[in-house]
Amino acid sequence: MAYSITGIAYLTLLFAMGYLIYRLFQYWKKEKDTASKQSLCFVSLFGLFVLIATIGGLFFADNPLVLQKKLEVGAFIQALAFAVMAYHIIYLKFPKISPWFGFIPVLILGLIAAVLTITAIQFNPFLEPSGAINWGFPSGSITLFVSFLRLSLFLVTFIPLIIIFLLQFKNSEDPHFKGKTLGMSFALLFIVAGASLDFLLIGIFHLDPIWRDVAFIVCGAIFLITLILTLPRSPSKT
Protein backbone atom coordinates (compact mmCIF):
# COMPACT_ATOMS: atom_id res chain seq x y z
CA MET A 1 0.00 0.00 0.00
CA ALA A 2 1.54 3.29 -1.14
CA TYR A 3 1.02 6.70 0.38
CA SER A 4 1.11 10.00 -1.47
CA ILE A 5 1.80 13.67 -0.86
CA THR A 6 -1.59 14.25 -2.47
CA GLY A 7 -3.25 12.33 0.35
CA ILE A 8 -1.40 14.44 2.93
CA ALA A 9 -2.45 17.60 1.10
CA TYR A 10 -6.10 16.55 1.19
CA LEU A 11 -5.72 15.54 4.84
CA THR A 12 -4.64 19.10 5.61
CA LEU A 13 -7.75 20.39 3.87
CA LEU A 14 -9.85 17.79 5.69
CA PHE A 15 -8.80 19.15 9.10
CA ALA A 16 -9.95 22.61 8.04
CA MET A 17 -13.21 21.33 6.55
CA GLY A 18 -13.86 19.21 9.64
CA TYR A 19 -13.46 22.24 11.88
CA LEU A 20 -15.77 24.28 9.66
CA ILE A 21 -18.43 21.54 9.64
CA TYR A 22 -18.19 21.26 13.44
CA ARG A 23 -18.75 25.00 13.87
CA LEU A 24 -21.65 25.06 11.40
CA PHE A 25 -23.24 22.12 13.19
CA GLN A 26 -23.04 24.10 16.43
CA TYR A 27 -24.70 27.08 14.75
CA TRP A 28 -27.47 24.91 13.34
CA LYS A 29 -28.11 23.25 16.71
CA LYS A 30 -28.50 26.65 18.36
CA GLU A 31 -30.28 28.60 15.64
CA LYS A 32 -32.42 25.83 14.08
CA ASP A 33 -33.07 27.98 11.00
CA THR A 34 -33.15 27.06 7.33
CA ALA A 35 -30.12 29.15 6.36
CA SER A 36 -27.88 27.42 8.92
CA LYS A 37 -29.13 24.03 7.76
CA GLN A 38 -28.39 24.83 4.12
CA SER A 39 -24.88 26.08 4.95
CA LEU A 40 -24.17 22.92 6.92
CA CYS A 41 -25.49 20.81 4.03
CA PHE A 42 -23.32 22.17 1.22
CA VAL A 43 -20.19 22.45 3.38
CA SER A 44 -20.71 18.84 4.51
CA LEU A 45 -20.93 17.74 0.88
CA PHE A 46 -17.60 19.38 0.11
CA GLY A 47 -16.25 17.83 3.29
CA LEU A 48 -17.36 14.42 2.03
CA PHE A 49 -15.58 15.10 -1.26
CA VAL A 50 -12.35 15.95 0.59
CA LEU A 51 -12.72 12.89 2.85
CA ILE A 52 -12.99 10.56 -0.16
CA ALA A 53 -10.00 12.25 -1.79
CA THR A 54 -8.00 11.91 1.44
CA ILE A 55 -8.76 8.19 1.78
CA GLY A 56 -7.87 7.59 -1.86
CA GLY A 57 -4.61 9.54 -1.62
CA LEU A 58 -3.48 8.04 1.69
CA PHE A 59 -4.39 4.40 1.25
CA PHE A 60 -4.96 3.72 -2.45
CA ALA A 61 -2.41 5.93 -4.19
CA ASP A 62 -1.11 3.00 -6.24
CA ASN A 63 -4.55 1.68 -7.19
CA PRO A 64 -5.71 3.30 -10.46
CA LEU A 65 -9.18 1.75 -10.26
CA VAL A 66 -9.90 3.23 -6.82
CA LEU A 67 -8.53 6.61 -7.91
CA GLN A 68 -10.77 6.55 -10.97
CA LYS A 69 -13.81 5.82 -8.82
CA LYS A 70 -12.79 8.66 -6.52
CA LEU A 71 -12.88 11.08 -9.45
CA GLU A 72 -16.22 9.76 -10.67
CA VAL A 73 -17.95 9.84 -7.27
CA GLY A 74 -16.37 13.21 -6.47
CA ALA A 75 -17.77 14.75 -9.65
CA PHE A 76 -21.33 13.82 -8.64
CA ILE A 77 -20.83 15.03 -5.06
CA GLN A 78 -19.60 18.37 -6.37
CA ALA A 79 -22.59 18.63 -8.71
CA LEU A 80 -24.97 18.23 -5.77
CA ALA A 81 -22.97 20.64 -3.60
CA PHE A 82 -23.04 23.32 -6.31
CA ALA A 83 -26.80 22.88 -6.66
CA VAL A 84 -27.38 23.25 -2.91
CA MET A 85 -25.25 26.40 -2.93
CA ALA A 86 -27.32 27.84 -5.79
CA TYR A 87 -30.48 27.00 -3.80
CA HIS A 88 -28.98 28.78 -0.79
CA ILE A 89 -28.09 31.89 -2.82
CA ILE A 90 -31.63 32.28 -4.16
CA TYR A 91 -33.06 31.61 -0.69
CA LEU A 92 -30.92 34.33 0.90
CA LYS A 93 -31.00 37.01 -1.78
CA PHE A 94 -34.24 36.50 -3.70
CA PRO A 95 -36.92 35.36 -1.22
CA LYS A 96 -39.75 35.93 -3.72
CA ILE A 97 -38.24 33.43 -6.18
CA SER A 98 -38.35 29.69 -5.62
CA PRO A 99 -34.85 28.44 -4.69
CA TRP A 100 -35.41 25.49 -7.01
CA PHE A 101 -34.79 27.87 -9.93
CA GLY A 102 -31.22 27.99 -8.70
CA PHE A 103 -30.92 24.35 -7.71
CA ILE A 104 -32.19 22.62 -10.86
CA PRO A 105 -30.15 24.41 -13.61
CA VAL A 106 -26.92 24.15 -11.63
CA LEU A 107 -27.57 20.49 -10.83
CA ILE A 108 -28.15 19.74 -14.52
CA LEU A 109 -24.89 21.46 -15.52
CA GLY A 110 -23.04 19.68 -12.72
CA LEU A 111 -24.41 16.31 -13.80
CA ILE A 112 -23.40 17.03 -17.39
CA ALA A 113 -19.85 17.74 -16.21
CA ALA A 114 -19.87 14.56 -14.08
CA VAL A 115 -21.18 12.35 -16.88
CA LEU A 116 -18.68 13.79 -19.37
CA THR A 117 -15.88 13.20 -16.87
CA ILE A 118 -16.82 9.53 -16.72
CA THR A 119 -17.78 8.82 -20.34
CA ALA A 120 -15.82 11.20 -22.53
CA ILE A 121 -12.46 11.55 -20.78
CA GLN A 122 -10.10 8.59 -20.68
CA PHE A 123 -8.08 9.55 -17.60
CA ASN A 124 -5.44 7.24 -16.15
CA PRO A 125 -4.34 8.25 -12.63
CA PHE A 126 -0.95 7.10 -11.36
CA LEU A 127 1.51 7.82 -8.56
CA GLU A 128 4.53 9.84 -9.65
CA PRO A 129 8.05 9.34 -8.20
CA SER A 130 7.66 12.67 -6.36
CA GLY A 131 4.81 11.16 -4.32
CA ALA A 132 2.11 13.22 -6.01
CA ILE A 133 -0.86 11.66 -7.78
CA ASN A 134 -1.10 12.52 -11.45
CA TRP A 135 -4.76 12.18 -12.43
CA GLY A 136 -3.78 11.44 -16.00
CA PHE A 137 -6.24 13.74 -17.74
CA PRO A 138 -5.50 13.80 -21.48
CA SER A 139 -5.13 17.08 -23.30
CA GLY A 140 -7.87 17.96 -25.76
CA SER A 141 -10.96 20.06 -26.29
CA ILE A 142 -13.34 17.86 -24.27
CA THR A 143 -11.03 17.86 -21.24
CA LEU A 144 -10.67 21.63 -21.47
CA PHE A 145 -14.45 22.03 -21.82
CA VAL A 146 -15.21 19.91 -18.77
CA SER A 147 -12.52 21.69 -16.74
CA PHE A 148 -13.93 25.09 -17.66
CA LEU A 149 -17.47 23.92 -16.90
CA ARG A 150 -16.55 22.66 -13.44
CA LEU A 151 -14.51 25.78 -12.68
CA SER A 152 -17.41 27.94 -13.90
CA LEU A 153 -19.77 26.16 -11.52
CA PHE A 154 -17.36 26.91 -8.72
CA LEU A 155 -17.26 30.59 -9.60
CA VAL A 156 -20.99 31.16 -10.24
CA THR A 157 -21.89 29.62 -6.88
CA PHE A 158 -19.00 30.62 -4.64
CA ILE A 159 -18.47 34.24 -5.75
CA PRO A 160 -22.11 35.39 -5.19
CA LEU A 161 -22.22 33.60 -1.84
CA ILE A 162 -18.95 35.21 -0.76
CA ILE A 163 -20.39 38.62 -1.67
CA ILE A 164 -23.58 37.87 0.28
CA PHE A 165 -21.64 36.88 3.39
CA LEU A 166 -19.39 39.95 3.14
CA LEU A 167 -22.45 42.22 2.86
CA GLN A 168 -24.00 40.51 5.89
CA PHE A 169 -20.74 41.04 7.77
CA LYS A 170 -20.72 44.72 6.83
CA ASN A 171 -24.37 45.39 7.70
CA SER A 172 -24.69 43.40 10.92
CA GLU A 173 -23.98 44.78 14.40
CA ASP A 174 -24.04 41.37 16.11
CA PRO A 175 -20.38 40.42 16.79
CA HIS A 176 -21.10 36.68 16.66
CA PHE A 177 -22.95 36.97 13.38
CA LYS A 178 -20.16 39.16 11.97
CA GLY A 179 -17.61 36.54 12.98
CA LYS A 180 -19.69 33.76 11.43
CA THR A 181 -20.16 35.54 8.09
CA LEU A 182 -16.53 36.65 7.96
CA GLY A 183 -15.38 33.10 8.67
CA MET A 184 -17.66 31.70 5.97
CA SER A 185 -16.37 34.30 3.50
CA PHE A 186 -12.78 33.25 4.15
CA ALA A 187 -13.72 29.56 3.98
CA LEU A 188 -15.33 29.94 0.56
CA LEU A 189 -12.43 32.07 -0.68
CA PHE A 190 -9.94 29.35 0.25
CA ILE A 191 -12.02 26.66 -1.48
CA VAL A 192 -12.18 28.78 -4.65
CA ALA A 193 -8.44 29.39 -4.39
CA GLY A 194 -7.79 25.65 -4.12
CA ALA A 195 -9.99 24.82 -7.11
CA SER A 196 -8.44 27.61 -9.17
CA LEU A 197 -4.91 26.53 -8.29
CA ASP A 198 -5.68 22.96 -9.31
CA PHE A 199 -7.13 24.14 -12.61
CA LEU A 200 -4.41 26.70 -13.35
CA LEU A 201 -1.32 24.82 -12.20
CA ILE A 202 -2.23 21.48 -13.76
CA GLY A 203 -4.84 22.22 -16.43
CA ILE A 204 -3.32 25.37 -17.94
CA PHE A 205 0.38 25.48 -17.06
CA HIS A 206 0.88 21.69 -16.87
CA LEU A 207 3.19 21.94 -13.85
CA ASP A 208 4.28 18.91 -11.87
CA PRO A 209 1.37 17.83 -9.60
CA ILE A 210 3.67 18.11 -6.57
CA TRP A 211 3.25 21.91 -6.79
CA ARG A 212 -0.52 21.48 -6.57
CA ASP A 213 -0.08 19.42 -3.42
CA VAL A 214 2.30 21.94 -1.86
CA ALA A 215 -0.20 24.71 -2.61
CA PHE A 216 -3.00 22.64 -1.05
CA ILE A 217 -0.98 22.04 2.12
CA VAL A 218 -0.20 25.74 2.49
CA CYS A 219 -3.81 26.75 1.75
CA GLY A 220 -5.17 24.10 4.11
CA ALA A 221 -2.97 25.28 6.99
CA ILE A 222 -3.86 28.94 6.44
CA PHE A 223 -7.51 27.92 5.98
CA LEU A 224 -7.63 26.18 9.37
CA ILE A 225 -5.84 28.98 11.23
CA THR A 226 -8.13 31.58 9.65
CA LEU A 227 -11.27 29.66 10.64
CA ILE A 228 -10.06 29.28 14.22
CA LEU A 229 -9.38 33.02 14.43
CA THR A 230 -12.59 34.22 12.75
CA LEU A 231 -15.44 31.81 13.54
CA PRO A 232 -16.98 32.64 16.94
CA ARG A 233 -17.07 29.97 19.61
CA SER A 234 -20.41 30.99 21.12
CA PRO A 235 -22.93 31.48 18.29
CA SER A 236 -26.03 33.49 19.03
CA LYS A 237 -29.28 33.94 17.19
CA THR A 238 -29.35 36.70 14.60
pLDDT at 202: 61
Q: What is the pLDDT of residues 88-112, one digit of tens each?
A: 999 999 999 999 999 999 999 999 9
**pLDDT tens-digit map of 181-202:** 888 888 888 888 777 766 665 6
Mean pLDDT, the chain, integer: 87
Quickly state the pLDDT bin for 162 (edges 50, 70, 90).
very high
235 lies in a domain? no
- 178 part of a folded domain: yes
User: Which residue range is the domain that position 55 belongs to?
Assistant: 5-230
Entry pTM: 0.89
In this structure, are strands 126-127 and 133-134 parallel, antiparallel, or unpaired?
Answer: antiparallel
Rounded to an integer, the average pLDDT of 102-127 is 91
* Residue 237 within a domain: no
pLDDT digits (tens, 9 = 90+) for 17-41: 999 999 999 989 988 889 999 999 9
Asked whether residue 80 is domain-assigned, the answer is yes
CATH of the domain at 155: 1.20.1070
**207 is a domain residue:** yes
Q: Which residues of 56-80 are buried (b: 16+ CB within 10 A; e: fewer)?
A: bbbebbebbeebbebbbbbbbbbbb
Total of domains in the chain: 1
Domain for residue 184, yes or no? yes
The predicted pLDDT at position 145 comes to: 86
Asked if residues 106 and 157 have their Cβ atoms less than 8 Å apart, the reply is: yes
Residue 235: is its pLDDT beyond 60? no
Domain-embedded: residue 238: no
| Helix (H) or strand (E) run with residue 75 in it | helix 64-93
Distances (CA, A) of 195 to 46, 89, 114, 176, 229: 12, 20, 16, 29, 23
> What is the model's pLDDT at position 215?
83
Residue 148 lies in a domain: yes
Cβ proximity of 117 and 71 under 8 Å: yes
